[in-house]
Structure 1
Amino acid sequence: MSESFALAAERLRELDRDRYAASLIVPGEHRQGVQAIFAFSAEIAAIRERVSEPGPGEIRLQWWVDAIEGEGHGAISSNPVADALLKTLETYALPAGPLLRLLAARRFDLYHDPMPDIGQFEGYAGETVSVLYQYAAMILAGGSADEAADAAGHLGVAQALGGHLRAFGYNAARGQLFLPLSVFAAHGVREADVYAGADSAELRAALGQLAELAHQHADKARSAIAPLSPRLKPAFASIALVDMDLKRAGRHVAAPFIGHRTPSPLSRMFALTWWMLRHGRS
């Protein structure tokens, strides 16, 4: 493994423990490529935590656009995540377009406009999360992996819903609403109520509806993963973590503004390994 790939893997472990753990399920000969894709995503997702206003975030996103389009200024290779990403795209002949769409979608993170509706959320999740699993499947397939599109699509939406249910209170305190505003409005919950931290039966009903939607996407993901070739299944081991999170979703629905203890990294790794032993070879 080159130094850039080793540093990218370490950066992934620092920023996104879940996807780092999931990457360890991938066979060794393809692991560094998957880690490079995941590390890129983790770097982009972290931008909103590093900036206090949209302008600097837009500049960082544009730097990545330039790097991927080959128009970067300065030493792109001095950034290990960028270097590992570009080498992965070249090695596996992966298209760059979906990464550019991921960067465009992540502009939403920098502002305080609420997510309008379910369709917009599913599109956002597809371009920021589902795409990662489609890339992982392509790396494992050594080329096109069209048969994995449904699995990637549903897994990404289920994981995004679960993650934003878990982070609902944190984001609300920052004046951000990543979950669909239309669902809250349908239950009589105003945007201002969310930002004020006003718990209510109506709010919990809205969150419960979104948790049910996450379960539906997870069910569809499992059905789509089941018939895939064993060669591709390691790309989708994260379904084990989604299932673990959705079993705990009721806690976040019942107390949306209270922090909850997250499962230990060891339990996350065990869930991934157990899933692979049960499903990875069938």
Structure 2
Amino acid sequence: MESQSATDYCLERVRRYDHARYLTTLFCTAEQRSLLAAVYAWNLEVAKTAETVSEATLGEIRLQWWSEGLSELWKGNTRSHPVLQALALGRGNLEKAAQSFERILDARSLDLDPSPPANLDALEDYAEATSAELICIALAALGTPADEQERKIARHVGIAWALTGLLRAVPFHARQKRLYLPEDHLEVAGVQRSDLFELRGSDQISGVVMRLAKRAEEHLSQAREHAQGIESDRRAPFLMAGLNDLHLKALKRANYDPFDSRLARLEGRGAWKVSWNAWRGRF
């Protein structure tokens, strides 16, 4: 596939299946947008692993294929896949974030285990290893690896985004008999797993969701405390924080019931929120 076609492929995949991140790429140059789309399209490929395989072993094989594909890419060899071909256009910058790519792949192997995280620390470790590391890769795609301040902000924004996304995805994961709510929280609250797997809301489930949503709010607040001094051309990967605010407000309006159908809609406000924050120099 020609590089331009590979880039178009990634842009379309991200626009369709990761629209939040797609919106943030609109505040970059065309060249930066293409490389960010490649990074986010790669993330889509590895994030869907558990959904596309029938057993854990096949998932591990799939993740290993992507790991080997990246190793070859850093050596100058590109496998015949549009995402890897698009990543190759920014090989020099992205190779500096090679450890972040590998940490994401390692964390995604946890998706192949249906057991929930043992506690909040385990859940936040997973969130950091997936979502926060992806922000660090995006920053490398913009030209230089994340510095200490940017990594600190990326950690908080990434964890908040992952926590909120997992709360919104409770129905989706429940249909697959998968759980990402911390096991100790479920036990203390007295949550019946049958309620979750049969898509039945309860006060106990809402209580767990509320506590995790509040934790996401804390991470966003901490991210913004450190946001001073972030250059405008480095801000795009953090713009999802504004969308996160909208999702958390929607959860609150739904009384933290993850099965409330209203949670699937942002009523077109997502693009407005990202644009408004970008214009104000905030996230």
Fold shared per TM-score above 0.5: yes
Does the Cα contact within 8 Å between 1:25 and 1:272 map onto a contact in 2? no
CA distance in 1, matches of 2:259, 2:92: 44
Q: Give 1:54 shift.
A: 2.1
The residue number in structure 2 matching 1:134 is 136
SS of aligned partner of 1:94: helix
Instruction: Report the TM-score, using the length of structure 2 for normalisation.
Output: 0.88
Q: What is the match of residue 87 of structure 1? A: 89
The answer on whether the counterparts of 2:209 and 2:257 sit within 8 Å (CA) in structure 1 is no
Alignment of 1:34 with 2:36, yes or no, is: yes
Matches within 5 A, 1:63-212: 63-70=65-72, 76-212=78-214
Q: Deviations over 1:30-88 (max 9, x none)?
A: 2222221111111111222222332322221111011012299xx95421101222432
CA contact 1:140–1:235 (8 Å) conserved in 2:
no
Q: Is the 8 A contact 1:115 1:121 kept in 2?
A: yes
- Residue 263 (1) aligns with residue 266 (2): yes
Is the Cα–Cα contact under 8 Å of residues 33 and 88 in structure 1 kept in the other structure?
yes
Higher mean displacement: 50-59 or 109-118: 50-59
Sort the Cα spacing of 1:252 and 1:166 in 2 relative to 1 into closer, same or farther, 3 A.
farther
SS of structure 2 residue aligned to 1:248: helix
Aligned-pair identity in percent equals 28
User: 1:247-262 residue pairs with structure 2 within 5 A?
Assistant: 247-260=249-262, 261-262=264-265
Q: Distance in 2 between matches of 1:144 and 1:208?
A: 32
Q: 1:20 and 2:22 equivalent? A: yes
Query: How many corresponding residue pairs?
Result: 278
Judge conservation of contact 1:154–1:218 (CA < 8 Å) in 2. Answer: yes
User: What is residue 246 of structure 1 aligned with on the other side?
Assistant: 248
Whether the 8 Å CA contact 2:93–2:143 is kept in 1: the answer is: no
Q: 1:225 and 2:227 equivalent?
A: yes
Kindly report the root-mean-square deviation, in angstroms, between the aligned alpha carbons of the 2 structures.
2.4
Supply the distance in 2 between the matched residues of 1:19 and 1:57 (Cα, whole angstroms): 25
CA distance in structure 2 between the aligned counterparts of 1:233 and 1:71, rounded to whole angstroms: 27
> How big is the shift at 1:164?
1.1
Contact 1:134 1:152 in 2 (8 A): yes
Any idea what SS the aligned residue of 1:274 has?
helix
The CA deviation at 1:252 is 4.8
Structure 2: distance between partners of 1:46 and 1:180 = 21
1:243 aligned partner, one-letter code: D
Distance in 1 (CA, whole Å) between partners of 2:135 and 2:94 is 15
Contact 1:141 1:231 in 2 (8 A): no
Aligned partner of 1:58 among 33, 57, 60: 60
